[in-house]
Structures are given as structure tokens and as C-alpha cells.
């Protein structure tokens, strides 16, 4: 595995956060182990975003009670309009069966709304906890998800999929890991490539500059971010 000089030295490792290496346009799977863990990543996403971006949470659970079990940071972001919650089941089952491709419809609607309200970027977090009881729908979701990097999504869209580890089978977790080149778990962001990649180029939203990393076909774990 090829390492990057930015990750050498205890001080540099300690100071970094997982989202320092998230890039606009990335798609990442977040494997979380508690609601607090899930919530921290949502707050992290807000900290990572610039002021001209909006965070859209696709979830039914988080919208049951707008003020329940949420931090003041999230409540303030909602009041400002930088953080909104949209339904999960309704748009994906509008035809009576699960349509994973409805994600593009949701993204299109929310992107147009964000642009009309003065936002230039969109971060979408999809809470997929409800898929645990729908194995066929889960598989359809994974198959569709694996095609998204080649489907021409907007370049200013960043996607994070959230899965609760305890509510998925080991086989389902493996499917999630294999379908995503970026996986976040326990505060560690891993970039996984099955083939050798010459470089990965990207930019962070708050002007941290361009970064070039070279990876082998092994999983490249960015530890202690």
C-alpha cells in the first residue's frame, strides 16, 4: 500500500478528521453502530460543507419529531435552511414497489430547490435503516448503487449512505463494502480500489486545496482521522 506524506507523524494523524479527505462529488457508505454515531456524521457533514451548500437528509425516522434527540447544531442548521429532511419511503414506493432509481428524481427535485434558494452545492445523506426488513429491495438498492459512479450525477453532489451495522446481516454488510469505494466506520474513512489507480484528484469545499493520492489495489485505510 502506498502511503501519503500527509499521514506521517503522530501530530498530523491526531489533528486530522475523516472528512478532511472527503471530496465534492464523492459517494461514501457510512456503517454506524448507534444513533449518536449516525448523528455525529451528520454534524460532521455540516462542518465539512461550505456556506453555499445544503444538506438533504432522506429519512422517515428523523422527521417523526423535528426536535427529538437532535443537537442544537442540527436545529440551527434547519432554522437556517442549510439542513432539511425529506421522506424516504414515499418517493421510492410511489408505484407500489421499490424503485431505487427514484433517487435521481429526489436529487433532481432537491437540487433544483436548493439552486432556487441560493445554494450552489448539495450533500445528500440517505438513512437506509428501513431496508433491513426488505432483503429483495436491499439487493436492488445495492445493484443500482454500484452503477451510480458511471451514471453522470451532478458534479456538485456528494452522497453518503447510512447503514446501521447491527441491523444488517454479514452478507449484506459485505455487499455494502464491495459496492462502495469509500467506506466510513468508527471515524475512519477507507478508500477501496480493486484495480490499481494512478491517482485520485479532488477538492475540498472550504478551499483546502487539491490533493493527489496514489493507491494500490489493496484497501487504503486512512487511520485516526
Nearest Cα to Cα of residue 26 among 191, 198, 141, 187: 191
* Bridge partner residues of 158 (DSSP): 123
Mean pLDDT by 10 residues, the chain (225 residues): 43 73 94 94 96 95 57 91 93 92 95 96 93 88 87 88 94 92 94 51 46 35 36
| 209 touches 27 (CB < 8 A) | no
With respect to residue 196, please indicate whether it lies within any of the assigned structural domains.
no
Q: Is residue 105 part of a domain?
A: yes
Q: Which residue has the cell 431505487?
A: 100
Consecutive H or E run containing 98: none
- The CATH number of residue 94's host domain is 3.40.50
Query: What does the pLDDT read at residue 70?
Result: 65
* Distance set, CA 124 to CA 9, 12, 27, 79 (Å): 33, 29, 10, 18
What's the pLDDT score for residue 130? 81
Q: What is the pLDDT of residue 217?
A: 31
Q: What is the pLDDT of residue 193?
A: 61
Q: Give the range of the structural domain holding residue 182, as residue numbers without chain letter.
A: 25-188
Report pTM: 0.77
Query: Into how many domains does the chain fold?
Result: 1
C-alpha cell at 94: 410511489
Determine contact, residues 82/54, Cβ cutoff 8 Å: yes
Which pLDDT value is given to residue 191?
87
* Cell numbers linked to 93: 414506493
Residue 204 covered by a domain: no
Residue 55 CB-half CA count within 13 A: 27
Check residue 62 and give its pLDDT.
66
Q: Tell me whether residue 17 is in a domain.
A: no
Q: Is residue 46 part of a domain?
A: yes
- Asked if residue 139 is part of any domain, the answer here is yes
Amino acid at each position: 500500500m502506498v502511503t501519503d506524506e500527509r499521514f506521517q507523524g503522530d501530530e498530523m494523524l491526531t489533528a486530522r478528521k475523516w472528512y478532511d479527505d472527503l471530496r465534492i462529488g464523492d459517494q461514501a457508505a457510512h456503517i454506524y453502530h448507534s444513533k449518536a454515531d449516525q448523528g455525529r456524521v451528520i454534524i460532521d457533514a455540516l462542518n465539512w460543507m461550505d456556506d453555499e451548500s445544503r444538506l438533504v437528509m432522506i429519512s422517515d425516522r428523523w422527521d417523526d419529531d423535528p426536535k427529538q434527540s437532535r443537537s442544537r447544531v442540527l436545529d440551527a442548521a434547519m432554522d437556517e435552511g442549510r439542513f432539511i429532511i425529506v421522506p424516504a419511503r414515499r418517493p421510492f414506493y410511489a408505484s407500489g414497489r421499490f424503485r431505487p432509481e427514484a433517487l435521481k428524481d429526489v436529487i433532481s427535485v432537491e437540487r433544483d430547490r436548493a439552486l432556487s434558494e441560493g445554494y450552489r452545492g448539495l450533500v445528500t445523506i440517505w438513512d437506509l435503516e428501513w431496508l433491513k426488513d426488505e432483503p429483495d429491495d436491499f439487493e436492488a438498492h445495492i445493484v443500482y448503487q454500484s452503477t451510480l459512479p458511471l451514471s453522470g450525477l451532478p458534479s456538485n453532489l456528494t452522497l453518503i449512505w447510512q447503514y446501521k451495522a447491527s441491523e444488517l446481516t454479514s452478507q449484506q454488510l459485505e455487499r455494502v463494502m464491495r459496492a462502495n469505494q469509500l467506506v466510513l466506520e468508527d471515524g475512519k474513512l477507507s478508500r477501496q480500489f480493486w484495480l490499481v489507480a494512478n491517482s485520485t484528484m479532488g477538492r475540498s469545499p472550504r478551499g483546502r486545496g487539491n490533493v493527489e493520492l496514489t493507491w494500490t489495489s489493496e484497501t487504503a485505510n486512512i487511520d485516526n482521522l
